[in-house]
């Protein structure tokens, strides 16, 4: 997504660009594919964005895909406790003044307004501090709202996650009220919302896209990248050209001398089931006390996402499918018979959003005046999310435009 965002930004500004992707499809980890085992098109993972994600809104508007996200009219987040069967919904009011925390039926049952006001402790402190250093990681608000939400956002155990990254997310979403917190899910797939319209739009703007061509090396001379190597000989980089490198951090580190990047990663496990959900099932529900953490219901399938899933990533796939379906069946009142399923594991889905790893994220600019970095692992000020990836692409493109003009 970082590479696509950079190309879109450059094309929007009237610059000619060439986009080269080492994979067989654009979009990186944000991809969809037809799964023959299910007979359906599925996403490699379930990616949730929020209505206040500025870069997402701008990107989709540019490529003509603003209608590809669906979600509720208000910031309502349903939850269920797998153990007790208790259900509730956190219902955040639209405006920035959080009067919802004073209303029963809008906050977590058994909590008080003061429990939420303590979250303000996240908004200060040093860059080296964790969430657990800043607030008390206990109690009903933590267990039934903050921990599951931060776990999904950071893809890292919430208490050990970066307080700074968590605060940045809270300022841009919860701090702006429900209008910025409305959950949005790509419909019908991630590719249909974020990738395919971008590729079509870029082609219309004259951007060249080449797939399946992996960058093998860069050659540097003085303060510039002077050649690219895709495995069949060096290709010179003209004096007026710039290069944006939008690859995983471990690949960037192998290509760019002396580059420091995050080197600790967390897994995500997703499950997809070929089962049409019955009417009235919540499009998304958070699960407390189950193996599944979030259950997503689409028109033709039900999917599960588990973040920071290193504890599950080596579990037998069939065992995972059976365990996840048991959660789904119990929560949605469905038959226990396991439908056709698919498990998708991403062992290095994101960098660990800890203070230590956040400090290793490099800026977009490098010591070479025509080389810039993009990726959710660069220093965006946000965790590794679609919003962060898109912003990184924008930043790299802006720097590249400046380098050309300068």
The mean pLDDT value for 182-201 works out to 95
Rounded Cα distance, 98 and 115, in Å? 13
* Backbone φ and ψ of 159, nearest 5°: -65, -30
pLDDT at 406 over 70: no
The mean pLDDT value for 242-261 works out to 98
pLDDT at 359 over 70: yes
The mean pLDDT value for 353-357 works out to 98
CATH assignment of 265-351?
Answer: 3.90.660.10
Q: Tell me, what's the pLDDT at 395? A: 98
What kind and span of H or E run contains 5? Answer: helix 2-12
Mean pLDDT, the chain, rounded, equals: 96
Q: How confident is the model at residue 405 (pLDDT cuts 50, 70, 90)?
A: low
Which of 273, 266, 261 has its CA nearest to residue 297? Answer: 273
Quick: pLDDT tens for 46-100: 889 999 999 999 999 999 999 999 999 999 999 999 999 999 999 999 999 999 9
Tell the residue number behind the tokens 């997402």, with chain if given.
Answer: 56
Within 10 angstroms of residue 107's Cβ, the number of other Cβ atoms is 25
- Strands, E, within 237-340: which ranges? 243-245, 265-273, 284-288, 294-297, 302-306
Per-domain boundaries in the chain: 2-70+185-263+354-405, 75-181, 265-351
> Are the beta carbons of 324 and 21 closer than 8 angstroms?
no
Rounded Cα distance, 331 and 368, in Å? 54
> What CA–CA distances, in Å, run from 373 to 202, 244, 341, 364, 386?
20, 6, 37, 5, 16
Rounded Cα distance, 356 and 160, in Å? 10
Phi-psi label, residue 179: left if phi above 0, alpha if psi -120 to 50, beta otherwise: alpha
pLDDT at 11 over 60: yes
> Are the beta carbons of 336 and 321 closer than 8 angstroms?
no
Quick: pLDDT tens for 129-173: 999 999 999 999 999 999 999 999 999 999 999 999 999 999 999
Phi-psi label, residue 323: left if phi above 0, alpha if psi -120 to 50, beta otherwise: alpha
Quick: pLDDT tens for 307-324: 999 999 999 999 999 999
Quick: pLDDT tens for 211-229: 999 999 999 999 999 999 9
Q: Tell me, what's the pLDDT at 164? A: 96
- Burial group, residue 104, by CB count within 10 angstroms (0-12, 13-18, 19+): exposed
> What CA–CA distances, in Å, run from 21 to 50, 228, 374?
27, 13, 14
% of the chain surpassing 90 pLDDT: 94
> What CA–CA distances, in Å, run from 341 to 104, 313, 318?
39, 16, 9
Does domain 2-70+185-263+354-405 match CATH 3.50.50.60?
Answer: yes
The residues, ordered by sequence, that sit 6+ positions from 275 with a Cβ below 8 Å of its Cβ are: 301, 302, 334, 339
Q: How confident is the model at residue 187 (pLDDT cuts 50, 70, 90)?
A: confident
The mean pLDDT value for 337-349 works out to 97
Q: How confident is the model at residue 124 (pLDDT cuts 50, 70, 90)?
A: confident
What is the chain's Cα-based Rg?
A: 22
End-to-end CA separation in angstroms for the chain: 27
Q: Tell me, what's the pLDDT at 404? A: 66
- Cα 251 versus chain centre, distance: 19
Q: Tell me, what's the pLDDT at 403? A: 83
pLDDT at 19 over 90: yes
pLDDT at 301 over 80: yes
Rounded Cα distance, 72 and 50, in Å? 11
Rounded Cα distance, 353 and 359, in Å? 10
What per-residue string of b and e applies to 231-244 under the rule 16 or more CB within 10 Å gives b?
eeeeeebeeebbbb
Q: How confident is the model at residue 29 (pLDDT cuts 50, 70, 90)?
A: confident
What kind and span of H or E run contains 386? Answer: helix 386-405
Q: Tell me, what's the pLDDT at 89? A: 97
Tell the residue number behind the tokens 């069967």, with chain if given.
Answer: 85
pLDDT at 30 over 90: no
Rounded Cα distance, 17 and 232, in Å? 21
Helices of type H across 182-334:
190, 196-204, 249-255, 317-332
Q: Tell me, what's the pLDDT at 125? A: 81
């Amino acid at each position: 997504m970082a590479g696509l965002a950079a190309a879109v930004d450059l094309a929007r500004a009237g610059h000619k660009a060439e986009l080269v992707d080492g994979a067989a499809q654009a979009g990186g980890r944000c991809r969809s594919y037809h799964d023959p085992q299910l007979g359906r098109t599925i996403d490699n993972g379930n990616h949730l964005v929020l209505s206040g994600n500025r870069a997402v809104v701008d990107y989709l508007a540019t490529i003509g895909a603003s209608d590809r996200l669906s979600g509720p009219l208000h910031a309502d987040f349903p939850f269920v406790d797998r153990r007790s069967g208790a259900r509730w919904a956190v219902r955040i009011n639209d405006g920035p003044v959080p009067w919802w925390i004073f209303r029963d039926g809008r906050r977590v049952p058994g909590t008080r307004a003061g429990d939420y006001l303590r979250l303000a402790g996240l908004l200060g402190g040093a860059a080296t501090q964790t969430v657990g250093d800043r607030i008390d990681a206990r109690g009903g608000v933590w267990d039934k709202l903050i921990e599951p939400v931060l776990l999904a956002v950071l893809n890292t155990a919430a208490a050990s996650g970066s307080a700074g990254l968590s605060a940045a997310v809270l300022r841009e979403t919860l701090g702006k009220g429900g209008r910025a917190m409305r959950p949005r899910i790509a419909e019908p797939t991630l590719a249909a919302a974020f990738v395919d319209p971008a590729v079509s739009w870029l082609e219309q703007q004259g951007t060249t896209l080449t797939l399946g061509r992996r960058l093998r090396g860069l050659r540097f001379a003085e303060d510039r990248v002077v050649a690219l190597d895709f495995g069949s000989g060096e290709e010179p980089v003209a004096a007026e050209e710039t290069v944006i490198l939008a690859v995983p951090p471990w690949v960037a580190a192998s290509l760019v001398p002396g580059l420091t990047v995050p080197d600790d990663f967390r897994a995500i496990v997703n499950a997809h089931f070929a089962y049409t959900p019955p009417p009235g099932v919540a499009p998304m529900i958070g699960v407390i006390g189950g193996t599944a953490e979030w259950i997503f219901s689409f028109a033709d399938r039900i999917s599960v996402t588990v973040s920071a899933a290193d504890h599950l990533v080596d579990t037998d796939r069939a065992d995972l499918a059976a365990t996840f379906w048991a959660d789904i069946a119990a929560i949605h009142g469905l038959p226990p018979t396991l439908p056709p399923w698919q498990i998708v594991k991403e062992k290095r889905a994101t960098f660990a959003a800890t203070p230590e790893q956040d400090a290793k994220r490099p800026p977009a600019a490098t010591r070479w005046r025509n080389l810039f970095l993009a990726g959710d692992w660069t220093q965006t000020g946000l965790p590794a999310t679609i919003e962060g990836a898109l912003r990184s692409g924008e930043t790299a493109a802006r720097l590249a435009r400046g380098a050309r003009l300068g």
